[in-house]
Structures are given as C-alpha cells and as structure tokens.
Amino acid sequence: MSDTTTESTDYDPELVVTAMLAAARLTVSDEEKAQMIKDFPVMRASADELYLPELEFYEPAPKFNPAAYYPA
C-alpha cells in the first residue's frame, strides 16, 4: 500500500479518525484504521478546497437537472 500522507495538518488525524469511527459505531481492523489515518488529511484537503470564496451566493443543487443550465 502506498503512503498517501502528503498533507501537513494542524490537527491529529489519529484523534479525529478514532473519534469519528467511534461515533459511527464502525469496528475496523488496526490495519484499516492506520490507512484511514493516512488517507484522512488527503480527503479533508479535497473537501476544504471546495469552499471557494466565489461560491458565496451559490445555492446547492440538491435536485439536479442538467438541462436547467441551458436555454431551450
């Protein structure tokens, strides 16, 4: 398995992952948990980058219709 940890964080991924797994009531192996701890900062970064300033006035697309963006 490749090491995916390339993100530096200001939190402890192990604490976060441990707490979230407990809250979700998921019982995973030590190996799986170790990989989740490595992956979590990458995932978190990919979500954080979506909080773009230019989205301030955007509403989400919970009901999605691709044609809605195109004039008839």
Residues 6+ apart with CB under 8 A from 27: 21
Nearest CB to other proteins, comparing residues 10 and 64: 64
The residue from 15, 19, 22, 61 that contacts other proteins (CB under 8 A) is 61
The residue from 8, 10, 47, 72 that contacts other proteins (CB under 8 A) is 47
Q: Which of 42, 30, 29 is nearest to 2 (CA)?
A: 42
9 binds other proteins (CB under 8 A): no
- Least distance in Å: CB of 67 to other proteins? 5
* Number of residues counted as binding other proteins (CB under 8 A): 39
CA distances from 28 to 5, 10, 22 (A): 20, 25, 10
